[in-house]
Amino acid sequence: MKAVWQGVTIAESDDTVVVEGNHYFPLDSIQQEYFQESDHQTSCSWKGTSNYYSIHVNGKTNDNAAWYYKDPKPDASKIKDRIAFWRGVQVTD
């Protein structure tokens, strides 16, 4: 699977986990130079608190376009150390 934004592959892995229709990539599969930690957080009743990254590619920024769970709840343990995308990031195989 690949995650692409602005024509640039920002993550790629053969080992994604699908939860609620979203592919969660291993954190070590992202191209770190395109990611900047955000202080944005949201909460899910069964997964826990999510943290976000903004993505910067070719002079453009996609705020809070990637999320991950630092410490997911037990039912979501399979997405620990994984990251998912939205806001125009295309995930394809």
- Please count the CA atoms within 13 angstroms of the CA of 8 that sit on its side-chain side: 16
Q: Just give the CATH number of 2-92.
A: 2.170.150.40
- Please count the CA atoms within 13 angstroms of the CA of 24 that sit on its side-chain side: 18
- Please count the CA atoms within 13 angstroms of the CA of 58 that sit on its side-chain side: 7
Whole-structure pTM value: 0.96
Residue 82: predicted pLDDT: 98
* Residue burial 2-14, b: 16+ Cβ < 10 Å; e: rest: ebbbeeeebbebe
- Amino acid identity at 2: K
Cβ atoms < 10 Å from Cβ of 43: 8
DSSP 30: B
Residue 53: predicted pLDDT: 98
Residue 71: predicted pLDDT: 96
pLDDT tens per residue, range 14-64? 999 999 999 999 999 999 999 999 999 999 999 999 999 999 999 999 999
Tell me if residue 70 falls in helix, strand or coil.
coil
